[in-house]
A = this chain, B = another copy of it.
Amino acid sequence: MTLRRSLRRSLALVGLTAALFAPMVSAGPAFAACGSAEPRGTNDLGIVIERAAGRVKVVENTANATLATVDGLGDLSHASAVISRDGRYAFVFGRDGGLTKVDLLERCIENRVMQAGNSIGGAISEDGRLVAVANYEPGGVKVFDAGTLDLVADIPAIYGPDGARSKVVGLEDAPGNRFAFSLYDGGEIWLADLSDPKNPQVRKYPNIGKQPYDALVSPDGRFYIAGLFGEDGLAVLDLWDPDAGVKRVMDGYGRGEQPLPVFKMPHLEGWGFAGNLVFLPAIGRHEVLVVDSTTWTETARIPVAGQPVFVVARPDGRQVWVNFAVPDYDKLQVIDVPARKVTATLTPGKGVLHLEFTPRGERVWVSVRDTDRVKVYSTGTLAEVGEIAADKPSGIFFTARAGRIGF
């Protein structure tokens, strides 16, 4: 137990608030004292973001239950989270630049810093020691000690002959305590090696395409793949062979020469890898593309109910689940991977924002914003098997992410 936590707990016992002991860099609403907790396993825990209220629900996915609500996380629109190596803490990246460390056992805010003015997600290093955040304003990446939230490295995204500063997107962890990210304005991919956190080694790949807007790392940690907003195609960096540079693939992938209206850009992090196949959301079209990831060639198109947003493979790769942009945002579809077609359509309610599979994939949790519910389905029977009340729920993050690359 740290001294600060020990102090906090003692004070909580006599009814004082721990807000007095918030670190100097903190801002936003004061947060409540951490209390005590019954020992329990953390491998079946997680959080659900309540985007409008600035809160998270601490949940467990064995009994499909809510354990607690933790308040005071600031602006959680488009918030995401990563999990500490031991499964105890969630690091929540708020849109307002807040980085909040939530203790899932004591069910409280362990620490919170305002680290930028506007941020868009983050990642945790392979060894669990570093949390990195991608910032729009000021554009760059800041890296924090996962234990203390002390700043350990600051990587401003300065590019080009004029030293302009770029928004940073698509920040992902990569094997070897590296982080990969993209410069939206600069059209570059950077690969930062944080093996020595005080002395990051940054390798820069310029001219990778116009306006990379999001990215992902393949589940095996090999490929960093950035989607482009300013032109068609994808930029791929082979992390096993960084000397080979960034390659352009899928030149037909994008909005096309005569773009359709796009109601919501698909999320790349949701891509469905199933063996050597990747299931991609078509942009603006009512289709999911099936791509052979060994050659990056399209092998099939599967018609779906709307413009896909998240296209996520069940952990065993047998099913791919898809949600949609407006006006089809009340639906979920299930693609059978061997059959390469939609085999079921569910209608959980309006505002299906996110979905997360349990670690082995037997159930899926679905955020339904407008009904203030997270619905839980069996992926075998497709029956609804549970429900959690949550205020405008969005992202769902289970602790099994701690043991996976690129989450």
Contacts and interface: CB of A to CB of B under 8 A. Distances in A.
Interface of A: 1, 36-44, 60, 62, 83-89, 104-106, 126-128, 175-177, 220-222, 240-241, 274-276, 315-318, 338, 359-362, 380, 399-400, 402-405
B39 A360 contact: no
Contacts of A43: 42-43, 83, 85-88, 399, 402-403
A315 B41 CA distance: 23
Contact of A405 (B104, B315, B338): B315
Contacts of A400: 403
A39 B34 CA distance: 13
A361 B88 CA distance: 20
* A interface SS class: loop
Number of this chain's copies in the complex: 2
Contacts of A128: 44, 62
Nearest to A316: B221
A63 to B, nearest CB: 10
Nearest to A45: B86
Contact of A403 (B1, B84, B175, B359): B359
A104 B104 CA distance: 18
Contacts of A36: 39
B276 A86 contact: no
7 contacts: A1-B38, A43-B43, A87-B87, A127-B362, A175-B380, A221-B361, A360-B405
A318 B44 contact: no
A87 B42 contact: yes
Contact of A240 (B1, B37, B338, B360): B338
Contacts of A87: 41-44, 87
Given A126-B362, A403-B360, A84 B318 contact: no
A86 B222 CA distance: 29
Contact of A175 (B177, B275, B360, B402): B360
Contacts of A41: 42, 84-89, 104-105, 399
B85 A380 contact: no
Nearest to A403: B359
Contact of A276 (B38, B275, B359): B275
A362 B38 CA distance: 31
Given A40-B86, A240-B318, A240-B338, 5 more contacts: A62-B86, A176-B362, A222-B317, A359-B404, A400-B403
Contacts of A85: 41, 43-44, 62
A220 B275 contact: yes
B1 A222 contact: no
A275 to B, nearest CB: 6
A402 to B, nearest CB: 5
Given A62-B128, A222-B316, A276-B276, A361 B39 contact: no
A362 B175 contact: yes
A126 B280 CA distance: 28
A405 B400 CA distance: 13
Nearest to A314: B175
Nearest to A217: B316
A359 B402 contact: yes
Contacts of A1: 38
Contact of A39 (B39, B220, B338, B404): B39
B88 A40 contact: yes
A293 B318 CA distance: 16
Contacts of A86: 40-44, 60, 62
A210 to B, nearest CB: 30
Contacts of A38: 1, 39
